[in-house]
Structures are given as structure tokens and as C-alpha cells.
Structure 1
Amino acid sequence: MAKDTTGRLHVTVKTGGKRKLSSKLWLERQLNDPYVAQAKREGLRSRAAFKLIEIDDKHHFLKPGLTVVDLGAAPGGWSQIAAKRVGAADGKGKVIAIDLLEMPEIPGVSFAQLDFLKEDAPDKLLKMMGGRADVVLSDMAANTTGHRKTDQLRILGLVEGAAAFAADVLNPGGTFVAKVFQSGADAALMTQLKRDFATVKHVKPASSRKDSSERYVLAMGFRGGRAKPPGEHT
């Protein structure tokens, strides 16, 4: 081990056996990531929790009593923060979460293992919600192919689906936050969001890795949509 420029010990992972170089680099990055270490210390499910903390600390959209939908929730970092800030564990607010993967229980969070892209997923989500949402979060990411343009289009497809769902279920004044990647492909999405929300901007939290093209779109002040979400009973 050697010290990096900040004085912290830097862990180097040896290659060998069946470990690929990409696996070695990922493991090395995880072991040397201060946010990973902090997440473990604070009992958070993932380093991603700090991204939501940073965005909300600046823009204040997670408030006690609100209903939050977390798309692509596993392993649960965002759901943990949302549940704490809206008071879901105390019955003040509500957090509904879905993911393709299983997710261990989190106090105050209603979770279902669902594929958001499946045709019946929105209806199942609406039944879990029992009404409209105040915040829709999406940290969903498509499986990567290694082909940059293909991967960008896949993540854009997920974001567009999440944005359409948000437009169906949000209360007026609601907020939509979604992971995107830097590219010129999201111009149509941004145009649509600017029609639906009072303010729309890209944000990149400090906890988002500097070498990643990852950023988040933050849309606040939903202008209101349909009279009721599809499938909602009067």
C-alpha cells in the first residue's frame, strides 16, 4: 500500500488467477473510494446515497409527509435517504421502490421486485402508491454493452420512460430526478421536461465520480398533468 496525494493509504489489487483487468480496476476503485468507506460507516446501502443527499441538501424537495417513488432502487441507498427525510418509518410520508433485483427490507419502504419496462409495471406501482406521488426518483441504469452510443440510447430510453411515468403520477409542484449521461441525445427529453416542469437543470454531485459521464437531471415544479393517474380510482 502507498499513500495518495491526500495522504490516505492507497490499496493496490494484484492481478492473477481469473481476475480480469476491468475487475481489478473496479475493486481497486471501490477499496480506495472515500464515499464507499463512509457509506459502510454510516450503515448506508451504497455510495449513491450521498448523491441524493447532496442534491436534496441544495434543492430541498424531500420533505416530511411526501410520497416518493424510487425506480431502480436496489441496493437501497436512495430509498434509505428518502424514507428518512419524508418520515416514512414514522408514518408521515411514503416511499415506494422497485427494482429488477431483490432488495432487503428498509423501514418505511414498500418494495416490489419489478421490471419497470414491463407493460404491467406502472399499474402495479400505482396500486402500491394508492394515489399520486410528490417525487419520482430514477437511478436506473441499463446493462452496458461497451458500445458507448448504444449504452447512451439505452439509458436515455429508461429516463424517457421514467419521465413519462412521472408526468402521469406527480402532484402539481412535484419533482423528478433521474440519472442521465452527458451526450447530445437527450435534447428532446429536456424540451419535454421544460414543458412539464417550471425549472429543469443538470446537476453533478461531488460524490459522482469525476471520471464518469454520469450526471442527473433535476426537474422541479411540475405543472400538473392528467386529472388522475391511469388506474387510480376516484
Structure 2
Amino acid sequence: MVDKALGSGGRKSDKDLKIRVKSAKGRKVSSTIWLERQLNDPYVARARAEGLRSRAAFKIREMDEKHKLFRRGMRVVDLGAAPGGWSQIAATATGSTEKNPLVVGIDYLEMDPIPGVTLLQKDFTDDDAPAMLIEAMGGKKADLVMSDMAWPTTGHRPTDHLRIVHLIEVAADFALDVLAPNGSFVAKVFQGGTEHQLLAMLKRHFRSTHHAKPRSSRADSAEAYLIAKGFKGQRESADEDEEQ
């Protein structure tokens, strides 16, 4: 049940306008807190008003405004795409259409169709997932690989950190295989940063790296984003030099 508190004399102050959710039988406290946060999140309301799949759409939109990630006609791969907010923004920004789809999204969760987006219901960490994505792109190179993937947290911070770093490594490895020269890579990270080895690898293969914390990312969230721009297109030679 949703309840709105009244201020003194019945006048609603800004603080009083906050929607409070009463605990319900059988509902966990964490679920009640999540529901209350959702109901009071202005980005959730904006996403509904604009017909966007999720509040996360505003994160990639903010990063694009600052770092110029999208351009018309470019090809984009969206890893961990569900529920589809990032793919929606990418499709609009690139001019992707059903006749000429430029955006491919993948997630193990089922998603409703998105105009101009080829969606694959598949776990990206499966061995055959990269080949499926490449086939969906018609064998063509991508200009941007973006990943909002994250494992469900365990509550054990060292374990959670290792799991997210693993996802970033898998996503980055895929990006190095499919990006066209001067392409970009965007991935979710968490406080504690990426491992030094991973960041050093990205710096070898991209002309610049940046960390971003969009305004639409909740202030109490540990998430941030790593942006690598200007893919040098020299993966094999760079890796061979390191091994020697």
C-alpha cells in the first residue's frame, strides 16, 4: 500500500511529498525499500513519460552527450541489454531501422522487440555467444561495444568485485575482436575500480580512457562506467609484443 504523509495543517511540504510504502505481509524489507525508491525516483518517472524501457537509458544518453559515443550509421553491440533502455537510445542515435538494423543486443532475459534492434536471448558468457553476435552483425565490424552487465551481488564485496571484473574482461576481449579502428568501448564498473592489468590493457589498445559517473546513476550506488575511445585496431601486434 502506498501512503503520502501530510505536513502540519494539511499542507504538503517537498519532504512530505515523498511516497512511503507500507510493509506488506510476505514482502521482504529490502523489497519494500526498493519499491519506495522506485516510486520516488524522478528518472523512473521520466523513463515512463518518454517511453523508455528503463532509467538506465539516461546514463548512456548522458555519457553520449559528454563523450560523443554515437553517430548516424554506426554499428553498436549492447551486452546485457535487458530491458532495452541502452538499445533504444542507440537505435535512435544511429538511425537504425528494421530494414537496416545497426544495433544488436544480447541478454539471457527475454525482451520485447525494439524497432531497429536485433535482440538475442542468450547468456553472453556462453562460449558460442560471440559468434552469434558476429553473425547477427552480418560479419561486419562494430563501432561501439557497450556493456551494462552485472552479476547479482552476493553481499561479499571481494567476491562481487572479482565477478564484475570478470564480466568486464570478457566484454573487453570481445570488443577487441569486433571493433573497427577508432571504435569505442563502454562498460559498467564498481567502486574499487578495474584491476590495473585490465586498465593497462585498455590503455594499450585505445587512445584514451575515461571514468564516468552519470548524474542519473544513483548517488548511493557503487557503479560507475569505464569509457575507452579510439581503438587502435592493433590487438594482435600489441599482444604479441607483450608476450615477447
Which residue number in structure 1 is paired with residue 195 of structure 2?
186
Once residues 95 and 150 of structure 1 are traced to their aligned partners in structure 2, the CA distance between those partners, rounded to angstroms, is 32
Unpaired runs of at least 5, structure 2: 7-11, 237-244
Counterpart Cα distance in 2 of 1:14 and 1:222: 50
* Amino acid in the other structure paired with 1:151: D
1:166-225 deviations in Å (ceiling 9; x for gaps): 001000100000001011552211111000100001100000000011000000000103
- How far the C-alpha of 1:2 sits from its partner, in A, is 3.9
Superposed, 1:1-234 pairs within 5 Å as 1-2=4-5, 9-89=17-97, 94-130=102-138, 131-225=140-234
Partners of 1:10 and 1:20 in 2: how far apart? 21
Instruction: Identify which range, 86-95 or 154-163, moves more after superposition.
Output: 86-95
CA distance in 1, matches of 2:154, 2:137: 34
Task: Assess if the C-alpha contact under 8 Å between 1:134 and 1:175 holds in 2.
Answer: yes
TM-score (norm 1): 0.92
Helix, strand or coil: the match of 1:115? Answer: coil
Instruction: Tell me how large the CA RMSD over aligned residues is.
Output: 1.8
Identity of aligned pairs, percent?
Answer: 56
Q: Deviations over 1:126-165 (max 9, x none)?
A: 1111211000010001121111111111111101100000
Q: Name the CA shift for 1:200/1:5 in 2 (closer, same or farther; >3 Å).
A: farther
Residue 166 and residue 175 in structure 1: after superposition, are their counterparts in 2 closer, same or farther (change >3 A)?
A: same
User: Which stretch of the first structure deviates more once superposed, 108-117 or 2-11?
Assistant: 2-11
Which structure's CA Rg is the greater one? Answer: 2
Matched residue of 1:149: which SS? helix
After the TM superposition, list the runs of 4 or more consecutive aligned residues in structure 1 that deviate by more than 6 angstroms.
none
Q: 1:226 to 1:195 in 2, by over 3 A?
A: closer
Q: How many residues align?
A: 227
Q: Provide the secondary structure at the position in 1 that maps to 2:119.
A: strand
CA distance in 2, matches of 1:5, 1:135: 45
TM-score of the superposition, structure 2-length normalised? 0.88
Structure 1: 5+ residue runs without aligned partners? Answer: 228-234
Letter of the structure 1 residue corresponding to residue 110 of structure 2 = E
Hey, what's the Cα distance between the residues in 2 that align with 1:178 and 1:5? 39
